[in-house]
Structure 1
């Protein structure tokens, strides 16, 4: 299955150590971490296969996972 790019938003109350552990878990599952977000929300971009997204989305640390797409203004 082909990999896609996603934005993973983590729970606002996730501490830095939990975030780092989760990122290592994502990498262990074959994910390639891109940009880390920490200003407006805690999270990061990642490239991984869609089946892994289903597994990760059940983690209590995860607030949401969205496919990374180009956005356009009207």
Structure 2
């Protein structure tokens, strides 16, 4: 009976480790007239959710980040009112 309890505890720990949110690299941009506080709020949500801001753009309003799927959904919902464009950050190469 004791072995069964240890097995259940071990499986619980393993399932918790497997359930880690998958990180994605994205670029998030906003129209030029978007208030700066909207970007600050999005960046704060990403950092608090365990993500990382990898680059802040100067010529356009936006930034690149690495974040989990759950945080991405949250930031996407926050940016909907301001027409945020969220796209996966991919490597571009010529053929």
Structure 1 and Structure 2 fold alike (TM over 0.5): yes
Task: For structure 1, list consecutive stretches of 5 or more residues without a partner in the other structure.
Answer: none
* The structure with more helix, counted as a fraction of residues: 2
Secondary structure of the 2:41 match is: helix
Q: Deviations over 1:21-56 (max 9, x none)?
A: 3211221122201110120x2111111112321221
Say what the alpha-carbon RMSD is for the aligned residues: 1.8
Number of aligned residue pairs: 73
Task: For structure 2, list consecutive stretches of 5 or more residues without a partner in the other structure.
Answer: 1-20
* The structure with more strand, counted as a fraction of residues: 1
Matches of 1:26 and 1:61, distance apart in 2:
17
Higher relative contact order (CA 8 A, sep 6+): 1
> Under a length normalisation based on structure 1, what TM-score does the superposition of the two structures give?
0.77
